[in-house]
Structures are given as structure tokens and as C-alpha cells.
Amino acid sequence: MRQPPISRNQALELLSSYNRDPFHIEHALTLEAIMAFMARDMGLGEEEDYWAMVGLLHDIDFEQYPDQHLEHTPQILAEAGIGQDMIRSIVSHGYGICSDVQPEHPMEKVLFAVDELSGLIGASALVRPSRSVSDMQVSSVKKKFKSKGFAAGCDRETIEKGADLLGWTLDQLIEKTLQAMQETETSVRSQLAQILG
């Protein structure tokens, strides 16, 4: 059973020291929540905190080094006391784009799959009257997924590749990710407000 190498408060301090943009902090909190949900859903709840921290820290260097994403991550995390196993898992989410580390562990495959998808779902929520995922259906997400002009920065090919790596259909991946975001949206927004003060 893998446990986080640092406390969550330490991880949040580390995140906040490299990220100021509310969008990036919210994305980190969202991925933390999704990863924890997925660990439980896949029967790996004993590793929930570890999976969650991988989600929280996965984009640690993106805001400061967007054109060198994941190049600075290993050093930043190692200096903070994060071990090579977690660093490897975090770097693997950029496989084929900005990393040559292939996702192998189920957790790595989940992170790879849900990172882009959560962005698409989040963007879809912003154009809804509710500005929330709470009333969103899988069919709504699929419609946005097929609309290539919508949230064009969210790589559809990566999302599909992620589903394939997990042995899931695209519908299954969307359903689980949407459910995770629906169950944790209120908590994520509350935490974001606390962090931003």
C-alpha cells in the first residue's frame, strides 16, 4: 500500500508556491478529487490518498513553464521530498505530448485519461446556464467531445487513448469522470475559495 510522501498541507503549499492562477489551482483540486474517486471506484481505496496527491501535483510546473511542461517537475518534486515512483507517475500523464514515460500502473492510466477529459467537462459546464456539472449528462459531454471547435485545447485523441489504455469505452470513461466531478464539485469550489482567501 502506497502512502503520500508528504502531507496534504505540504502538497498544497508546494502547489501554491508555483501556481497563482485560480484556474490552475482549481484544475489541480479537481484532479485530486477525481483521482481519489477513481481509486475507490476501482477497488483501490487503500491508495486513495496517494492517487489524490498525484492528481493534486500533476501540473506543478505548468503555470511557470508552459512551454517546458514536465521538464522542471522532477526537480521541483524531488526537492520537496517526493520519491521517484510518484514523480514517474506524474510525468507519465504527458506521454506522447511532452513526455516519453508511458503510463503503466492503473493510476497512471487514469491520470492520463482524465486530465484532458476533466478540462472538456469543465469547459462544458461553463457554457451551461447553471455553470455547473451537477445537471450535466454523459450525452452532453459526448456532444461537446464531437464538436472539434469546442475547447479545442482539450486533446480528444489523448482522451480516447486513455480509455483504450484502461480497457474502457469512451462512454465509461466519461461517465465515471463526470460522476467524480459531480460528487466533488461543491467541495472543490469551497477549497478553492479558502486557498484564494
- Using one digit for the tens of pLDDT, what is the confidence trace for 141-163? 999 999 989 999 999 999 999 99
Confidence check: pLDDT of 186 > 90: yes
Is 103 within 8 Å of 11 (Cβ atoms)? no
Task: Note the pLDDT of residue 1.
Answer: 80
Confidence check: pLDDT of 197 > 90: no
Confidence check: pLDDT of 42 > 90: yes
Alpha helices of 43-149 — where are they, by DSSP H?
48-57, 73-79, 84-91, 106-126, 138-146
Is 155 within 8 Å of 116 (Cβ atoms)? yes
Average pLDDT over residues 162-182: 98
